[in-house]
Copies of this chain bind each other. A is one copy, B any other.
Amino acid sequence: MANIREIARLAGVSVSTVSRVLNNHPYVSGEKREIVLKTIQELDYSRNINAVHLSRGKTNMVGIVLPTINHPYFSNLLDGIAEEAMQRNIQLVLFQTGYKQEKELEALEQLRGHLIDGLIFCSRALSFNNLMIYKGFGPIVLCEDADQKEFPSVSIKHVEAFNLGLDFLISKGHERIAICLGRLEGTNSRKRQEAYTNKLEMLRQEVHSDWIIGDCLMFEDGKRVIHHFENMPNKPSAFLVGNDQVAAGMITEAINRGFSIPDDLAICSFDNHPVSEMMGISTIDIPAKQLGTSAIQAFLKRTADPGYAEKIVLPFELIVRKSV
């Protein structure tokens, strides 16, 4: 396969002239431009993009770090990212890490090695200090509500949203409230647990450790929660659930086991996934796709201004349905 030097040789021009034609630069005569284009076509020439990236020092590629694609929040977020990226001719390199820190570090190493121009962390297991090490290697955008001023971020106020859910359940007369979260380990998860503990204390309610359930990501996890619920000595009367899929699993299994929603068990969740409308679930609408769009915009702003570190916070909204 031909390279630029061969094209130049056969067209009888210099490598610079060929490069000018390839890049639509001015100051190339019409005659020379045509003969170069003709030669390119005849040899079916296509330039090596690795060489272009190397010599330009930029790739127009952005890395996306997420734990899993197969989760409605992440697939919505990725959808927003991907659509905005397509509009801006940005290519996406996917890093599905499963929250493995060494995989997240690999993504950061790719940023350091100039394969990608920036990174968007949809969620992360790596510590903030680890991220700080890589701050100078290119724009890093965090899709999280964290107390930090080093990186631009896009998020909703998860703790406030969580409190809204708790307050809504309380306003409906529930005081014995359990929670289901995707994970118990992250900064945000710990904050939610704190918020939950604080609210129960306000209600003078005992905090039951078995009313804080982790590892709830999908529908099947929701079913498992109901098995757990059945065997609780002290049963809650309501659940605040991390996402609609889990809530739907819980409702499906609860009904199968003769419980009545919301009489025996009220359920409020997050996302406003279509399944929540299907199942009549009260939910807090999280604009994940719009978060994704904003993440790409934040990446571009940071690229233009390395000091840019705005925290973009999008609103959320409670949607009341039958499950509470």
Contact = CB atoms under 8 A, between A and B. Distances in A.
Given A53-B50, A109-B46, A278-B252, A68 B79 contact: yes
Interface string A293-318: 00000000000000000000000000
B278 A47 contact: no
Interface stretch (A8-16, A110-118, A177-185, A190-198): A110-118
Nearest to A274: B219
14 contacts: A48-B113, A49-B113, A50-B53, A50-B54, A50-B115, A54-B54, A69-B78, A79-B96, A86-B103, A91-B94, A91-B95, A245-B274, A249-B274, A278-B279
Interface residues of A, number: 52
Number of this chain's copies in the assembly equals 2
Contacts of A249: 274, 278
Interface in A100-128: 103, 109-110, 112-115
Interface string A51-80: 111100001010010001110000110110
Interface in A161-206: none
A264 interface: no
A61 B68 CA distance: 19
A83 interface: yes
